[in-house]
Amino acid sequence: MITRLIAHKLTKEVGDPNITTQVKDTLVNSSNNAAESLYKATMKTIRRRGAAGNFERIGENTKQIFEQLLETCVTASTDEAFVQFSEDALALLARLISPIRLATGGYLIFMQFKTSHHEDDDIGDLLVALIAESEAPQFNENLELQESAILDLDSLKHCARIKLDLLSENAETMITFLAGRNTPEVSRYFIDFIGCDRTTSAKDASSALMARITAWCEEDRVNRDKNQIGQSIWDFWKEHEGSKRGIILEELCNALQPDNPQQLLDYLTDEDSLLTGDLPPIPSSYMKKFANFKYTGNGITLEYARYSWNDKIDYNPDENVVYISEPPEDLIEKIRADKAE
């Protein structure tokens, strides 16, 4: 449910530092299909491609301007304070993008909303997005074809979701933002505007991915081989150089479930998940738990799925013995039978 919505416009030409702004001094009507469509489109993008982070502090603990403005707004918790916050943030962004040669402005949108995970008295979350315009063919009232300006939601590059209930503690994953993977030199100014930075560690990202994939494999009425899926994740990580460029969950879902990747992506990034769509580079030391262990030599072949057996197979150097905890019954019977012969 959208509780507050307002938009302003920045106009800037490529290479020109001059900016004009169009300011709206009242909230936008958010109880219509257009507002709901805007919310769904921006949320879909940020879930697909967002990175997790929090507000980056200056020096020891100095808050940046956007965070200070937001705190003032949240403390007041009024429509007037929300409007004033949006205008002050607009002025801040205008100053930041003026020297950016490739920046072109757009509609700066502020949307406060609640999901089913929020209690009635929760303040909700804040969505901030800078959305450009594009031209699209449309028929007018005389059925003549003409170009019309529309919001270019398909190419959204600047967006952030802020969990307002975590604002006071600046929790590590309180912000989900588009990190500008493909065009960092263009997108960085919006990240600087929010004042955020990626905080998810490689270890946390791999652990969250394993926890969510495990839950997906163990869903009721679904038969999925988590060991095979784990190996597929490892293969994907190697093929896409995940240790250098990270993992885009949308691409991973296309590989794991090509018949319905969106269903898997929605599951991995839903409100209960710690995952975001854009994971940081993860070294092999954290990803190898998805892959099978293999050894062949000296007359022995040993292979097992780390996903299921990594914590059950160990080596005791004092006794020079490899232990297998909770071995499968059929393995025990096979060894017994072999020894009996």
0.85 exceeded by the pTM?
A: no
Q: What is the chain's mean pLDDT, rounded?
A: 88
57 pLDDT more than 90: no
Q: Residue 195: CB partners within 8 Å, gap ≥ 6?
A: 55, 56, 63, 64, 65, 66, 67
Residue 143 Cα distances to 134, 184, 313, angstroms = 21, 42, 72
Q: Give CA–CA dist 14/3, Å, rounded.
A: 35
The range of the structural domain enclosing residue 252 comes to: 212-341
How high is the pLDDT of residue 184?
53
Each residue of 196-226: pLDDT tens digit? 888 788 888 899 899 999 888 887 666 788 8
Closest by CA to 295, choosing from 313, 272, 271, is 313
How high is the pLDDT of residue 219?
79
Tell me: do 128 and 235 sit in the same domain. no
Residue 221 Cα distances to 212, 217, 218, 229, 285, angstroms = 17, 10, 9, 17, 33
How high is the pLDDT of residue 49?
84
Is 139 among the domain residues?
yes
CB-CB neighbours of 341 under 10 Å: 5
Is 261 among the domain residues?
yes
Tell me: do 106 and 167 sit in the same domain. yes
Tell me: do 134 and 184 sit in the same domain. yes
The total number of structural domains in the chain stands at 2
Q: Give CA–CA dist 123/167, Å, rounded.
A: 11
How high is the pLDDT of residue 143?
76
18 pLDDT more than 90: yes
Using CA of residue 163, residue 169, residue 173, residue 176, what is the dihedral sign?
positive
Each residue of 175-192: pLDDT tens digit? 999 865 554 555 688 889
What would the mean pLDDT of 25-30 be, rounded to a whole number?
Answer: 93
Is 80 among the domain residues?
yes
Q: Considering only CA atoms, give the Rg of the chain.
A: 25
Each residue of 68-102: pLDDT tens digit? 999 999 999 999 999 999 999 999 999 999 998 88
Q: Residue 275: CB partners within 8 Å, gap ≥ 6?
A: 205, 208, 209, 212, 249, 268, 269
Is 36 among the domain residues?
yes
Tell me: do 193 and 254 sit in the same domain. no
Instruction: Find the range with the poorest average confidence among 52-61, 185-194, 202-211, 325-334.
Output: 185-194
Closest by CA to 51, choosing from 282, 280, 287, is 280
Is 204 among the domain residues?
no
User: At which residue do the structure tokens 């402005």 appear?
Assistant: 105
Percent of the chain surpassing pLDDT 70: 96
Tell me: do 169 and 289 sit in the same domain. no
Instruction: Find the range with the poorest average confidence among 18-27, 86-95, 174-183, 243-252.
Output: 174-183
Is 206 among the domain residues?
no
- Partnered with residue 58 across adjacent β-strands are 62
Q: Give CA–CA dist 17/234, Å, rounded.
A: 47
Tell me: do 172 and 244 sit in the same domain. no
DSSP labels for 81-117? HHHHHHHHHHHHHHHHHTT-TT--EEEEEEEEE--TT
Each residue of 36-45: pLDDT tens digit? 999 999 988 8
Residue 269 Cα distances to 2, 161, 247, 280, angstroms = 21, 14, 14, 15
Is 207 among the domain residues?
no
What would the mean pLDDT of 275-303 be, rounded to a whole number?
Answer: 90
Is 203 among the domain residues?
no
Tell me: do 27 and 155 sit in the same domain. yes
- pLDDT higher for 119 or 231? 231
How high is the pLDDT of residue 69?
96
Tell me: do 125 and 55 sit in the same domain. yes
